[in-house]
Amino acid sequence: MKKQSVTNIRIFFEGAILSYRALFRWLRPATYIASKILAPLTMMIFFVFIGTYASGSNDASFYVIGNALIFAASSGIFGVTMSIGGERWSGTLPYLFGSPANRLAIFTGRASMHILDGMLGVFIGLGWGVLLFGLDLSQTHLIPLLLTILVTTYSTSGLGLLMGCVGLITRNVMLVNNTVYFLMLLFSGANIRLESLPKWMQVVSKYIPLTRGIASTRLIIAGAGINEIFPLLMEEFLIGFVFTLLGFFLFSTFEKRAKKLGTLEIF
Amino acid sequence: MVKRIKDNLRIIGMSFEIELRQNLMDGFVLFGIVIQPLIVAFMALWMLKDKGPDFAIFIVVGSAMTGLWTTLLFNGGNSIRGERWAGTLEPLVGAPGSLRIVVFGKVLANVTQSLLSMIGCYTLISLIMGYPLTLSRPILFFISILLTVFSFVSFGVIIASLFILIPDFQRLQNTLEFPVYILCGFLFPIALLPGWTTPISIILSPYWAARALHGSAQGTLEINQIFISWGLLIIFSAIYIVGSGALYRLVLKRARVDATLNTTG
């Protein structure tokens, strides 16, 4: 039992590190910097300018915070999806499903590095906000902010795990990824105040990751403490957990069906 | 001379058709042409709705231009790289037809199909969301669209060669998407940006395309101002085309001298 647990933990961390390295090691640092730092920055600038143009105000904090948290979704959705879905493209899926390794350790391990990477991304986003748009962090409590960013990157990675499984059964993984990512921009309240959206969109926004993470971060930066944001964080965590479970269920179902029907590499 | 023109037009037609057929199988094209512009249009509409109902046409045009640029960047920009990955670059370079003409046809196909994003945004905002959409100067607007297609194709031809010549430039592809939205004033005036960015905007033909389209759609520009935008759009597009001639000669020279035709960058 103990040996089994040690093996599972080893698989979790090996899978985490190897899948992360596999995603970036063949690229130059320029690609990493372009994809993870500069591209989200340019998107932030675009929406901040539209937002400030719309409001006629110089206060960009609403848009800066919303778009900084989108950095988490960038890692959670694109990184995690490609770590799972990429197994099929690189031809390693049969080996993975042929191994006796614990499936939950394999599956969840794929997200862990991207959670750390996403957290780094959010800090970079907030840093850009301070440097370029004068985001005021003087009222911010650091620990609740850290916790919020951790939970938010976890929940978006949960969605990424689910989308990664979708990537195992579709040819158009980039279409799916990008659509989900842009829908998150729309529904999460990153750029539009949720209360101004149509009712049905407000309902959808309650059931996706990121919405509460963004709300919580805005409260913390305005000076709120852990007690005020705790319910939001719990709900955000729960949503991430549900998406992870759904993803694992899909992953297991896919493995069983693919083995039974011989469709492991059929798109 | 006439025969050469006829041959080039036939090559453009063939590569246009093949590119369109291939794109039908590519889900990402659907994203660039339909999904992203519609989501951007919806967000922009919601963010800018306090600017009044007249602003809806500005959003239709601006959002559609984001679709044009995204498709141009990701599909048009990879026109040569795509051939390289498919293993068809050698026969293409070995054929007597000009590589630049082939790429022109491919980029033309990408830009033309991207015009669907304008129809999509128009449908969303007018028919589904019920905003009144009227074109202040319809004839000038449609001429502006034709010139916009020309300017985007010229821009795409030069980008496709740069992606091959400078691999690091291609690696920054994801980063190039939003800066053009920003610098070309697709959804907000460039006057909001710091002054040092204005010279960059001015040398980008999509900026003049956006200016002409917005100005003729909303009626915010005088006719002579629209003519000036057209003129500058044509001048910069012509510069891109002339410049691309030299770049394509360099691509072919490098490929033949360095034997790097099939080497992925």
CA distance B55 to B133: 9
Q: Domain spans of chain B?
A: 2-258
- Per-residue pLDDT reduced to its tens digit, A143-161: 999 999 999 999 999 898 8
Answer whether A175 sits within 8 Å of B182, measured CB to CB. Answer: no
CA atoms of B217 and B213, how far apart (whole Å) = 6
Mean pLDDT of the A68-97 span: 81
Residue A129 — pLDDT band, cuts 50, 70, 90?
very high
Each domain of chain A, given as residue ranges in start order, spans 2-261
| pLDDT for the residue A24 | 61
A171 to chain B, any CB pair closer than 8 A? The answer is yes
A57 interfacial to chain B (CB closer than 8 Å): no
DSSP three-state, residue A28: coil
Any B CB within 8 A of A137 CB: no
Both tokens of A235, joined, read 């709900």
Using CA atoms, how far apart are residues B108 and B114, in angstroms rounded to an integer? 10
CA A49-A136-A207 angle, to 5 degrees, is 70
| pLDDT at residue A147 in the model | 95
- Residues B136-160 have pLDDT tens digits of 899 999 999 999 999 999 999 888 8
pLDDT of residue A267: 55
* Poorest-pLDDT segment among B22-31, B139-148, B183-192: B22-31
Q: How far is the alpha carbon of B56 from chain A, nearest alpha carbon, in Å?
A: 13
Give the chain B residue nearest A197 (alpha carbons). Answer: B46
User: What is the DSSP-derived secondary structure letter of residue B125?
Assistant: I
The residue with greater pLDDT, B109 or A254, is B109
Beta carbons of A50 and B31 less than 8 Å apart: no
∠ CA B93-B97-B98, rounded to 5°: 70
Q: Please give the structure tokens belonging to residue A145.
A: 């902010």
Interface test with B, best of A67, A89, A178, A196 (most B CBs within 10 A): A178
Q: Residue B174's closest CA among A122, A178, A58?
A: A178
Query: Are the beta carbons of A192 and B173 separated by less than 8 Å?
Result: no
* Nearest by CB: B178 against A42, A176, A182: A42
Mean pLDDT along residues B9-21: 92
Percent of chain A exceeding pLDDT 90 equals 40
pLDDT score recorded for residue A47: 92
Nearest to B121 by CA among B158, B85, B168, B68: B68
Please name the amino acid found at residue B222.
E
Instruction: State the complex-level ipTM.
Output: 0.87
Chain A / chain B CB contacts < 8 angstroms: 89
Contact criterion met (CB below 8 Å) for B49 and B91: no
Q: Which residues of B touch A200 (CB under 8 A)?
A: none
Q: Nearest C-alpha of chain A: how many angstroms from B247?
A: 23
Q: Which of A45-54, A254-263, B193-202 has the least mean pLDDT?
A: A254-263
Quote the DSSP letter at residue B184: T
Integer Cα distance of A12 and B198 in angstroms? 51
Q: Is the pLDDT of residue B17 over 70?
A: yes
- What local confidence, expressed as pLDDT, does residue B31 receive? 84
Instruction: Find the closest chain B residue to A45 by CA distance.
Output: B182
CB of A67 within 8 A of CB of A191?
Answer: yes
| CB atoms B171 and A34 under 8 Å | yes
For chain B, report the end-to-end CA distance as a whole number of angstroms: 36
DSSP structure class, residue A58: S
Residue B171 — pLDDT band, cuts 50, 70, 90?
Answer: low
The reported pLDDT for the residue numbered B262 is 61
B99, B79, B100, B105: which is closest to B13 by C-alpha?
B105
Subunit contact B47:A50, Cβ cutoff 8 A: yes
CB nearest to B31's CB, from A28, A34, A175? A175
Put simply, the answer to whether A185 touches B50 (Cβ < 8 Å) is no
Q: For chain B, how many residues are written? A: 265
Interface contact A186, partner B, CB < 8 A: yes
Residue with the larger pLDDT of the pair A98 and A86: A98
Choice between B137 and A37, residue whose per-residue pLDDT is larger: B137
Spatial neighbors of B258 by CB under 8 A, at least 6 apart, are none
Handedness of CA B61, B28, B160, B166 (dihedral sign): positive
Q: How far apart are CA A80 and CA A113, in angstroms?
A: 9
The average pLDDT across B100-117 equals 90
Q: Is the pLDDT of residue A168 over 60?
A: yes
CB-based contact B46 A35, cutoff 8 Å: no
Q: Flag if A42 and B188 touch (Cβ within 8 Å).
A: no
Least confident of B26-35, B64-73, B167-176, B178-187: B167-176
Q: Say whether pLDDT at A59 is over 80.
A: no
3-class state of residue B182 by DSSP: helix
Q: Which two tokens stand for residue B188?
A: 């907000």
Task: Provide the pLDDT confidence category of residue A26 given band limits of 50, 70 and 90.
Answer: low
Under a CB-based contact definition with an 8 Å cutoff, are residues B160 and B83 in contact? no
Which own/partner contact pairs does B122-128 have at CB distance under 8 Å and 24+ positions apart?
A: B122/B60, B122/B64, B124/B38, B124/B41, B124/B42, B125/B41, B125/B45, B125/B56, B125/B59, B125/B60, B126/B56, B126/B60
pLDDT at A28: 65
**Residue-level pLDDT at A81:** 81
Interface residues on B facing A, Cβ-Cβ cutoff 8 A: 27-28, 30-31, 35-36, 39-40, 42-44, 46-48, 50-51, 168, 171-175, 177-179, 181-182, 187-189, 192-193
Contact check, Cβ <8 Å, A179/B35? yes
Test B36 with A178 for CB contact under 8 angstroms. yes
Block residue for tokens 């709120």:
A224
